[in-house]
Amino acid sequence: MPELPEVETFKRFIDRYALGRAVQEVQVLHPKILEGVTQAALIAAVQGNCFTRTVRRGKHLFIGLAPAGGKTNVKALPWLYLHFGMTGYLSYTEQGRTMVNAYGDPARTDAHVRVRFAFEDGSHLDFHEQRLFGKAGLVDDPQAYMDAKRLGPDALDVDCKTFLAALKRRKGQIKPVLLDQSLVAGIGNVYADEMLFQCRIHPEKRVADLSQGQLDCLYAQMVAVLQNTVDAEAAREQLPKGYLIHHRGKKGRCPRDKTPLAVQTIGGRTTYFCPACQPE
C-alpha cells in the first residue's frame, strides 16, 4: 500500500530512469486506470514529449512535460498525474533487464501493467496497478489540483509548530485524524499504526486527551518513521527491529514485551497495536 515513503521512491525512480527522456509511445493497457481524461488525450499530451521534473505531495505524484528536441513552444503542457492506489508501483525495462523499486513486486510480470511509457531506444517505464484503485491523468496546475482536494502539507515538509497547531484543532480519535490527508498528506494505514506504536499511544485516544509529551513524540515519530522508510527506499524489511511493521498479522506479538497484538477496526481500517504498551 503505497504511502508517502513509497511514492517518494517512485518519484526518485522516475528521476533516475526517465527524466529528460522523450516518450516515443504511450500505451494504455487498461483504460479504467484513467481519471478525467480519455486515452487519446493522455497519449496526445505525453507522446513525443519529455519528462522534465517530478513533484510529490503526500501520495500524489506529478510529472512535468515539455516538448522534445527543445522546440520553442506554443502553449504550456499539462502535467502527468499518478496515484498508486493500493497496489501501484513502477518498473523500468532496458535491454531485457527489468528494474523494480524496492517496494515493487519482486515476482513482477506484465499482467498488471496499466500504462507503458516507451522511450526511443526501446526501454520503457511501466505503471503497474493490480487493483485499479490508482489513477493516471492530466493536470493543468498541480497546486490548483491539490487545493481543490484540500490536501494538507506534506508530512515530511511540515514543521512541528504547524503540525501541532493543526492537530490541536481536532477532537476525534488520533488514528483517523492522522489518516486525514487534509491535516498532513502522506500517512496511510501502516505508518499511522507505526508512529502510534512508537509513541505508545492507543489509536482510539482522543487528540484532546494527549499530553504535550505525546504530541511532541507524535511529530518526532511521524518524521522518523517516514524518513527511515524513505532512507530504506521503502524496503520494509530493512526498517528497525523494534518496528511494529514486522509483526502485523494475525499472530503478531509486540516486539517490546511479546504481548499478542490487538487487531481492531478503527476509523474503518484494520489496526494493529499493543494493548499493553499502548494503554487506553
Only one of the segments 47-55, 70-78, 166-174, 214-222 lies at the binding site for DNA (rule: CB under 7 A); that segment is: 166-174
Instruction: Answer yes or no whether residue 176 interacts with DNA by CB under 7 A.
Output: yes
d(CA 95, CA 11): 22
Instruction: Answer yes or no whether residue 252 interacts with DNA by CB under 7 A.
Output: no
Helix axes 4-17 and 212-231, enclosed angle (nearest 10): 30
Instruction: Answer yes or no whether residue 164 interacts with DNA by CB under 7 A.
Output: no
Pick out residues in 48-77 that bind DNA (CB under 7 A): 58-60
CB nearer to DNA: pick between 50 and 183: 183
Number of residues that bind DNA (CB under 7 A): 37
| Residue choice 78, 104, 188, 203 for contact with DNA (CB under 7 A) | 188
d(CA 65, CA 252): 46
Considering the complex, what minimum distance in angstroms separates the CB of residue 155 from DNA?
A: 11
d(CA 54, CA 52): 7
* Binding flags for DNA, 201-230, as an x/- string (CB under 7 A): ------x-----------------------
Q: How far is CA 73 from CA 6, 21, 49, 67, in A?
A: 34, 18, 12, 7
Pick out residues in 89-148 that bind DNA (CB under 7 A): 111-112, 130-133
Task: Specify whether the CB–CB gap between 111 and 9 falls below 8 A.
Answer: no
Neighbours of 68 (CB within 10 A): 16
Half-sphere exposure of 148 (CA within 13 A, CB side): 7
Instruction: Answer yes or no whether residue 180 interacts with DNA by CB under 7 A.
Output: yes
Q: How far is CA 4 from CA 141, 172, 184, in A?
A: 21, 23, 11
CB nearer to DNA: pick between 59 and 124: 59
d(CA 137, CA 154): 21
Instruction: Answer yes or no whether residue 270 interacts with DNA by CB under 7 A.
Output: yes
Among 143, 146, 117, which Cα is nearest to 59's?
Answer: 146
Instruction: Answer yes or no whether residue 88 interacts with DNA by CB under 7 A.
Output: no
Site residues for DNA per CB under 7 A: 1-3, 30, 32, 58-60, 83, 85-86, 111-112, 130-133, 149, 169-173, 176-177, 179-182, 188-190, 207, 267-270
